[in-house]
Amino acid sequence: MSKDWIARWRWDRIGVAALVLLGITSGLRAWVSDDPVFDAQSISGEGLAMLSGAALDEADVLSVATIAPAAPVSAGPVAPTLAPAAAPRVQPGVAASGPLPRKGVLPCTCSKSTMRKLARNPYTQHQKRARTLPGSFFVKSEAELLAGARRGDMHKVTGDKGYHLVRMTHSEPYLLRDTKAILDEIGRRFAESMKGTPEEGASIRVTSLTRTQQQHKKLRRRNRNAARGNSTHNYGASFDIYAIDRLNNKMSCGNPTWVLQEILRKMQNEGRILIIPERGCMHITPK
């Protein structure tokens, strides 16, 4: 074997080895570059929660420096930049523009002890009127209530100018047309009377509207003041005014309570409403 041939053979082996090494290096570079690169600063709280497998609240403040490295991620496209994390939630009733009633603000009670000028109309008058109002019917169940709403006899109540509803456990937010009209008028007149006064923004709290037969039976077991037998609430004919909610504790209760009392007294004297002042509320039925 000549020396020239041996030299050529050695250079061939070196060339093959170099080609193999170059191929391996290129493969490794391609494999590494295919992994997505995650920039913690460009990922929202939701995205980080998905990576770490933990659920994060909207109010949580994430610190990039304290985030543990994520587990290896399979090859795929580069992750897009997500929107910034949502701002912390504001607790209901804390903000100045929050709903009523507000946390830590005591209401002005509306009862026979605070509205002494209101006369008591016998409950028999309330019952008679409840049975004769246009569209009136005895509401046995929620299904019958919804059927009455579809017919146009019952009208949904969501709150309006001068009054608002709170979470109800023993009644539904529906009233007969004439009853809702009376409630809307009381709220509107109250809001107009409060306009320009230090108590502007106060609102009447309404707690009881239409009750199904089953709801009334449950209420009777825990509240002896609830009417025995059929209630006028079972016809969607009555509502209860429980209190007046203020925007803050600096607002006086004297003026709002007196104004509401005068509105109710005038409507009662005009023969437009029937009232039963109770220990905890004002029970009102259109006349």
Q: What is the CATH number of the domain that holds 177?
A: 3.30.1380
Comparing 219 with 55, the larger pLDDT belongs to 219
Examine residue 99 and state whether it is found in any structural domain, yes or no: no
Report whether 175 contacts 202 (CB < 8 A): no
Report whether 239 contacts 200 (CB < 8 A): no
pLDDT > 90: percent of the chain: 57
- The whole-number pLDDT of residue 225 equals 52
User: Residues 19-38: pLDDT tens digits?
Assistant: 656 555 544 443 333 333 32
pTM over 0.75: no
Examine residue 92 and state whether it is found in any structural domain, yes or no: no
pLDDT > 70: percent of the chain: 62
Q: How confident is the model at residue 218 (pLDDT cuts 50, 70, 90)?
A: confident
d(CA 207, CA 230): 19
d(CA 2, CA 17): 23
Examine residue 201 and state whether it is found in any structural domain, yes or no: yes
Indicate whether 63 pLDDT > 60: no
Examine residue 204 and state whether it is found in any structural domain, yes or no: yes
Examine residue 33 and state whether it is found in any structural domain, yes or no: no
Range of the domain at 118: 108-286
Examine residue 15 and state whether it is found in any structural domain, yes or no: no
- The whole-number pLDDT of residue 42 equals 31
Q: DSSP letters along the chain, please?
A: --HHHHHHHHHHHHHHHHHHHHHHHHHHHHHHHTSPPP-GGGS-HHHHHHHHT----TTPPP-GGGPPPPPP--S-SPPPPPPPPPPPPPPTTTSTTPPSS-TT-PPEE-STTT-TTPPPPPHHHHHHHHHHSTT-----SHHHHHHHHHHTSEEE---BTTEEE---SS-BSEEEHHHHHHHHHHHHHHHHHHTTSTTTT-EEEEEE-B--HHHHHHHHHH-TTSPSSS-GGGGT--EEEEEEE-SSTTS-SHHHHHHHHHHHHHHHHTTSEEEEE-SS-EEEEE-
285, β-bridge pairs: 274
Examine residue 85 and state whether it is found in any structural domain, yes or no: no
Report whether 74 contacts 33 (CB < 8 A): no
Q: What is the mean pLDDT of residues 36-51?
A: 31
Total of domains in the chain: 1
d(CA 178, CA 139): 17
Comparing 92 with 156, the larger pLDDT belongs to 156
- The whole-number pLDDT of residue 230 equals 80
Report whether 143 contacts 160 (CB < 8 A): no
Examine residue 25 and state whether it is found in any structural domain, yes or no: no
Angle at Cα 216 formed by Cα 215 and Cα 221, nearest 5°?
Answer: 100
- The whole-number pLDDT of residue 60 equals 27
Q: How many other CB atoms sit within 10 Å of the CB of residue 253? A: 18
- The whole-number pLDDT of residue 247 equals 96
User: CB-based burial of residue 171 (10 Å sphere; 0-12 exposed, 13-18 middle, 19+ buried)?
Assistant: buried
Comparing 141 with 14, the larger pLDDT belongs to 141
User: Residues 117-154: pLDDT tens digits?
Assistant: 999 999 999 999 999 999 999 999 999 999 999 999 99
- The whole-number pLDDT of residue 21 equals 60
Show the tokens assigned to 209: 């509207």
